[in-house]
Structure 1
Amino acid sequence: MPLTISDAVIWQETGEGISLYHTETGDFHTLNDTGSKIWMLVASDGERDPIVAKLSDEFARNNAAIGRLIHLDVMEFLGSMIERGLIEEHLP
């Protein structure tokens, strides 16, 4: 299912990562390097599988165990962002 950044989120890249402000809840978040990479991939790709594939190519380097860990971590991060209303998942 396609992913998009919520229209209620204002975000920008900073020296510490990506800063997020949810205009409906008033919540602020700052993403670390890994979260920022995932966020940027959501902004550009909007699909779970390509996000996992790009991060696995960059970090796992054909190591299946690390690839599985990346998959789990990305799914957990995306689930958390969806739950908080920062990222939206749409039916195709």
Structure 2
Amino acid sequence: MRYLIDPEVVWIPSDQEVRLYSARSGEFHTLNRTAAEIWLQQAESGSVTEAAAELSRRHGAEDAAQHALIAKDVREFVDRLLAQELLVVEPVESAGAAGAADD
């Protein structure tokens, strides 16, 4: 499953943060450095698995346990973004075969 930024969300990276506004909820958010890294990875790949792998690589996860912890944190944060309607699930018809097996 892949995730897209809700089309009603306007966002901009700024000094190790991401600032965003949801026209749907009318709320502004500022994501800290760690949350911003996850947001930017999701914007690029749409994949929790790919985002977790990239963050593990960047932060030098040395073993499977460290990678699993990063993957858990990414998954939990993405779930919160989904609950706040800042991310949406990519529709199946546009996901194609590549998105069908992810997460």
Structure 2 counterpart SS, 1:7: coil
Matched, 1:83 2:83: yes
Number of residues of Structure 1 aligned to a counterpart in Structure 2 = 92
Query: Identity across aligned pairs (percent)?
Result: 32
In the superposition, the TM-score normalised over structure 2's length comes to: 0.82
* Contiguous gaps of at least 5 residues in structure 2: 96-103
Report the residue type matching 2:31 in the other structure: L
In the superposition, the TM-score normalised over structure 1's length comes to: 0.90
8 A contact 1:16–1:30 mirrored in 2: no
Aligned residue in 2 for 1:18: 18
Structure 1 counterpart SS, 2:51: helix
Deviation of 1:60 (Å): 3.8
**How far apart are the structure 2 equivalents of 1:67 and 1:61?**
6
Report the residue type matching 1:13 in the other structure: P
**How far apart are the structure 1 equivalents of 2:78 and 2:60?**
19
Q: Which aligned runs of 4 or more in structure 1 are off by greater than 3 angstroms? A: none
Aligned residue in 1 for 2:54: 54
Matched, 1:2 2:16: no
**How far apart are the structure 2 equivalents of 1:73 and 1:84?**
17
Aligned residue in 1 for 2:43: 43
Report the residue type matching 1:12 in the other structure: I
* Contiguous gaps of at least 5 residues in structure 1: none
